[in-house]
Structure 1
Amino acid sequence: MTLTRTKPLLIVTGLTAALALTGCAGSAKQKESDGAAGAGGMIAQLTFPSEADASVGSLANYNPYAPKPLTTTWLYEQLIVRNALTCEETPWLAEKATWEGGEKLTFDIRQGVKWTDGQPFTAKDVAFTFNLMKQYPALDKPGVWTSTFGAPATSVTAEGNKVVFAFSGNAAPKYDGIIASKILPEHIYSKVGDPTKYVDKTPVSTGPFKVGSFNGRQLVLERRPDYWQADKIKVKKLVLEGQYDASQAALKLRSGQLDAYFGEIPNPEKTFVSADPKNNHFYYAPNGMSVLTGNNEKPPFNDAKFREAISYAMNKQEMSLKATYGVMKPASQTGLKLPSMDKLLPAQYAGKDTVMPYDLAKAGELLDAAGYKKGPDGKRTNPDGSPLAVNFSVQAGWIDYQAVADVAVKGLNDLGITSKVTASAPDSVDGQKKTGDYQLMIEYLHGGCELAKNLGTKLSSTQIPTKTEVLPNVQRFKDPAVDAAVTKLAGDTDRESQKTDLAPLVDTMMTQYPVTSLIYAPARVIYRTDKAVGWPSEQDPYANPQDDKLLMLTHLTAPK
């Protein structure tokens, strides 16, 4: 486990509710013709690792809703691609999306798209896909027909080239799940019974490739000249082959047998880039953040003053160096991915450094003031005089988490807080999250654009883990005012008011320290530029390199 966890853009009037949840994208932004995508020559072949794990074996199944399809990326497509880094949107099978309040969502479906068997793709295919989710609930990953994150749908209908979702109440938080759902061909999947059990051996899809061959080990995909945006697809052949660990991937990349890898390679600058700085590169985008999570229901972590004090004892630069070889930057205490989400910052934090500095002296002063005094032996006690000791639970084998935990515990011990790391099986740590039987651990704060579902659920008392389920509020933070703010943020459909709605959550992070932001967690791409250029980068973060591979493909061209 690792720390994971041009033409001007056209604003689409009325797309407010779900986009407004972020305050970052606001509306679907069209990139119908992108300069980077249209320039350059054709690429004969690119080779990526297989998307299927070794257990798939020789079974050819392209059903995007199967537990283990051969590929989930290159064949079946979604309605709109939303870049989780910048929150910008690129219309895909839908040209536009429009909310009316939070109860009605309409998609304008792209015309002229064809399935690989030559049949036209229509709005009926879209409506069919989502109605199939009602018939087979296991298919309903976005929760369209349930009360998960918003009111359930009452109907999904095709009306000409439009698809209309009607909900029984506000359903704005479902938006990201809806637009990311893969659309199925009605003329095929209406005949297969339960789609979750269907083995799709001859895929009929709308994507840029068709299956060339699969020999049980190597999947070869061939470019479709009749693809609806074929002018943006410069890769003639895409080969998916092999499941590689870090050392194998590094060797394959250096030798040119792989053109990109999306997993972790420790110290990529040394192990990969240095071998050929001209052609070897990497981009580790901030995908979320690792956070220091104390049990807010138990002393001393039920004391916000204690939580604030120890936040200054976290040496984030050292954590980055030991866990990510210095690649990932210290994270903002706001809970937002900065600088990409700068526009969301409340006025009092705009333009300020919101990363908690490493300052042991200040941490000590704050602990003294809060009553956590040092005794003659240099060890601190609780305000009632009892011994102060902290046990840090960490998942055994998660090397990066263990590295961060070691640095955190050193900071606490340097403050005079007796602390130790206890490594346990990941399942055991999950059990501690469910029961609350822990003091301190590392957790993940999702950095996606639907902040009511991400930062909001991290702080909402409705999202405290149960005995059977790990929910986001692992620290068990409770504040009725914060709950009300999360509800308002989730239900607001006005883009301009989202910054105001978000402000109480940011302020809570900055003043009550329900969790302490440590370092950003990466979405990775490690790549070569001898065959293809146009990869996303820190200078041009047009795509999340792990989630937006299809969008990334439209930017790749042969080097000049």
Structure 2
Amino acid sequence: MVQRKALVALAVALLLLLPGCAGSRVANERKLQRAGPVGSGGDVAQLNLAAESDASIGGLVNYNPFAPKQLTKTWLYEPLMIQNSLDCTVTPWLATAYRWQGATRLTFDIRQGVTWSDGSPFTAADVAFTFNLAKKYPAMDTAGVWTDIFGAKAVSVAATGEQVVFEFSGDAASKFPSIISQLIVSERQYGSVGDPTKYVDEAPVATGPFTVDRYNGRRLELVRRPDYWQADKIKVQRLVLEGNYDANQAALKLRTGALDFYTGELPNPQKTFVDADPATNHFWYPPNGLTVLAPNLTAEPFSDVRFREALAYGVDKTTVSLKATYGIMDVASQSGLTLPAKKALLPPGYPADRTVIPFDPARANQLLDAAGYAKGADGFRTDPDGSPISIIMSVQAGFIDYEAAADEVVANLRQLGLDIRANKASPDSVDQQKKTGDFQLMINFMAAGCDYANGMGATLSTSTIPTKTEVKGNVGRYSSPAVDAAVQQLTGSTDPAKTKELVGVLVTTMMTQFPVLPIFYAPARGVYRTDKAVGWPSADDPYANPQDNARLWMTHLSAPR
């Protein structure tokens, strides 16, 4: 099992309390720790990564960051800041600092000395232009700046000197992660293209560390920009993006060195990759969310909290993780937080080690007996009124980890005397069940991250109950006025103590009402080789989410000693 370090130091603990809002706090600038120079100053001649576009793009050449299909999403255009979702630290990028005034006004200081790849200066006007373009063309507004998604909508976004100021119609602190992630484009290039989501950008002008060298319809090659604003931190000279691999293909490419880094599904990476060459081959799967059992709380017997609590004790989560993740992922905390990284958010009375529900079938049976779910002559339990209990657990066919988890869960619950079976259906079919609420029990994902209103809150708030046309987080239809109030207040919280108090409401709900039952942590995957480059994020140096913070880890890579 991957060994994990506790990520929470005192400074980090304060950052965890907010979705990115702390008065005039300047975001974290991390010193890069590099291996010593080899060859030409520690340069890495070439790294091979999987393609960022799927095979359906064919030979279409489009680098537009707002297009449905684009050749690269990462290496050309850049965001304002980068937040590590694992510990919530924020690294300045195109913006150097930010300040909230209340929860309705957000100001960014824009980095000076940055140039676009055509040599023209990058300015605050480009930032304001990008966000206002999203107002004109709502399909581009993935950050939700101009809608009520994630908080109150914006009234204006304007450049003033070297700053950009956002004014909102109400509390909008929970929009911060999506705002800082917005990729910025040049007004000079995009100002006259019309609808940006329909524009075909064949000659990108961007601020990022690489430019396009060549593309042959399947293989995209990018080269380092010597005039990049932090060029001294970019040691990789060439990036090759090619291939959409399944697990077996990726494992072979990784073992042979044809692939240097991979974030896709790779069952049992220890056996299929690391064991072939432990000195060179590595992986790190930090917690990036929670895999949970989601009961339909509007249907019996799952509407009974006593029944749900019994299930929490009746599932052998360690064995489930062993079968579903080969024991890589730790058993998840019932609190809904990814621990130990976010243990600073736990309210008094809930020490981290006591939030993991142990496997205790004796207690599970006692709880069921006490709640009136007696066993009949056939050995199966009935409802308190004597009617039979028959449970169908919906599972996404083809999700190998979910299928393995479901098999063990079903076996565990049958040992408690519950008549339960798994029904493996297409992912689209399971999504339809989420929309309609026509299910009994399923495996689902619970978001983590640093926006607690739209992370944890999305699983618990009535505002995120799925509709007939849209899947949302609260698939179990949990309802609590106290939780709704806490989630609403989290959208505007800029005070660390208040944020902890509000998250505490969600944690207490998870621990006492069991609206969902966490099984094991869901990973952010990073599988990598160290023969060409070192400095990848790891358990020993968890400076970035390996799956979501590629721009950040690129500034840490260098040739090995």
Q: Classify the TM-score, shorter chain.
A: over 0.9
Which consecutive residues of structure 1, in runs of 5 or more, have no partner in the other structure? Answer: 1-8
2:241 is the alignment partner of 1:240:
yes
Give the aligned partner of residue 297 of structure 1.
298
Matched, 1:72 2:70: no
Unpaired runs of at least 5, structure 2 = 1-8
> Is the CA contact 1:291–1:444 (under 8 Å) kept in the aligned structure 2?
yes
Aligned residues: 549
The offset of 1:506, in angstroms, is: 0.1
Report 1:134-145 matches (<5 A): 134-145=135-146
Secondary structure, counterpart of 1:331 in structure 2: coil
Check if 1:31 corresponds to 2:21: no
Aligned-residue offset at 1:66:
0.7
Aligned residue number for residue 390 of structure 2: 389
Contact 2:329 2:522 in 1 (8 A): yes
2: CA distance, partners of 1:362 / 1:444:
26
Paired amino acid for 2:32 = D
Kindly indicate whether the alpha-carbon contact (under 8 Å) linking 2:79 and 2:180 is maintained by their aligned counterparts in 1.
Answer: yes
1:219-261 deviations in whole A, cap 9, x for unaligned?
1111111111111111011111111111111111111111111
Cα contact 1:144–1:152 (8 A) shared by 2 = yes
Q: Match of 1:20?
A: 18
Q: Which amino acid aligns with 1:314?
A: V
Q: Is the 8 A contact 2:23 2:494 kept in 1?
A: no
Equivalent runs, 1:146-161 vs 2, <5 Å: 146-161=147-162
Q: CA deviation at 1:499?
A: 0.9
In structure 2, what is the equivalent of residue 113 of structure 1? Answer: 114
Contact preservation (8 Å) 2:310, 2:367: yes
How far off is 1:473 after superposition?
A: 0.6
Deviation string, structure 1 residues 181-202 (Cα, Å, up to 9, x no partner): 0000011000211111111111
- 3-state DSSP of counterpart to 1:35: coil
Determine the C-alpha separation between the residues in 2 that align with 1:169 and 1:233: 40
Deviation at 1:274, TM superposition (A): 0.7
Q: Aligned with 1:166: secondary structure? A: strand
SS at match of 2:208: coil
Question: 2:512 maps to what in 1?
Answer: 511
Tell me which moved more, 424-433 or 63-72: 424-433
CA separation in 1, counterparts of 2:18 and 2:24?
5
* Aligned mates of 1:136, 1:43 — CA distance in 2: 40
Matches within 5 A, 1:279-318: 279-318=280-319
Find the aligned partners of 1:26 and 1:318 in 2 and give their Cα distance. 46
SS at match of 1:71: coil
Q: 1:39 deviation in Å?
A: 6.9
Which moves more between the two structures, 445-454 or 460-469? 460-469
- Post-superposition shift, 1:546? 1.2
- How far, CA to CA, are the matches of 1:550 and 1:184 in structure 2? 17
Residue number in structure 2 paired with 1:327:
328
The equivalent of 2:48 in structure 1 is 47
CA contact (8 A) 1:37 1:232 kept: no
1:489 CA displacement = 2.0
How much does 1:152 deviate? 1.0
Q: How does 1:451-466 map to 2 (within 5 A)?
A: 451-466=452-467
Find the residue that maps to 1:443 and give its secondary structure. Answer: strand
Change (3 A) 1:438 1:25: farther
Code of the residue aligned with 1:473 in structure 2: it is N
Counterparts of 1:91-490 in structure 2, within 5 Å, are 91-490=92-491
Structure 2 SS opposite 1:165? strand
- In 1, distance between residues paired with 2:551 and 2:374? 56
1:3 is aligned to none
Q: CA deviation at 1:29?
A: 2.9
1:37–1:554 Cα contact (<8 Å) kept: no
Identical pairs, percent: 58
The 3-state SS of whatever aligns with 1:85 is coil
Counterpart residue type for residue 73 of structure 1: T
Structure-2 change in CA distance of 1:522 and 1:545 (3 Å): same
Q: Distance in 2 between matches of 1:534 and 1:557?
A: 7
AA partner of residue 35 (structure 1): Q
- For 1:559 and 1:498, the matched residues in 2 are separated by 42
Counterpart CA distance in 1 for 2:373 and 2:43 is 66
CA deviation vs aligned residue, 1:471-503 (integer Å, no higher than 9, x gap): 111001111111112112222221232111111
If the length of structure 1 is used for normalisation, what is the TM-score? 0.95
Q: 1:243 to 1:107 in 2, by over 3 A?
A: same
Q: Is the 8 A contact 1:294 1:475 kept in 2?
A: yes
- The 1-side partners of 2:486 and 2:385 are apart by 35
* Counterpart Cα distance in 2 of 1:124 and 1:373: 69
Q: Distance in 1 between matches of 2:10 and 2:328?
A: 34
Q: Tell me: CA distance 1:231–1:159, structure 2 relative to 1, closer, same or farther (3 Å).
A: same
Alpha-carbon distance between aligned partners in 1 of 2:24 and 2:55, rounded to the nearest angstrom: 41
Displacement after TM superposition at 1:362 (Å):
0.7
RMSD (CA atoms): 2.0
Assess, with a 3 A threshold, how the Cα gap between structure 1 residues 39 and 26 changes in structure 2: closer, same or farther. farther
Deviates further, 368-377 or 28-37: 28-37
SS of the equivalent of 1:196 reads coil
Q: Is the 8 A contact 1:19 1:25 kept in 2?
A: no
Q: Is the 8 A contact 2:75 2:210 kept in 1?
A: yes
Q: Which amino acid aligns with 2:141?
A: D
Query: Please, which moves more after superposition, 415-424 or 395-404?
Result: 395-404
2:424 and 2:352 map into 1 onto residues whose CA distance is 39
Write the deviation string for residues 5-60 of structure 1: whole angstroms up to 9, x where unpaired.
xxxx9999xx99x9724799995433254234897711111110110111111111
Q: For residues 79-100 of structure 1, give each alpha carbon's deviation from its aligned partner in whole angstroms, at most 9, with x where no partner exists.
A: 0000011111100000001110
Deviation at 1:375, TM superposition (A): 2.4
Q: Give the 3-state SS of the residue equivalent to 2:382 in structure 1.
A: coil
Deviates more, 1:390-399 or 1:223-232: 390-399
TM-score, normalised by the number of residues in structure 2: 0.95
The corresponding residue for 1:5 is none
In structure 2, C-alpha distance between the alignment counterparts of 1:321 and 1:161, rounded to whole Å:
52
Give CA-to-partner distance per residue, 1:502-534, whole Å, 9 cap, x none: 111100000100000011111111110001011
**Higher mean displacement: 255-264 or 343-352:** 343-352
What SS class does the counterpart of residue 432 from structure 2 fall into?
A: helix
Give 2:6's aligned residue: none
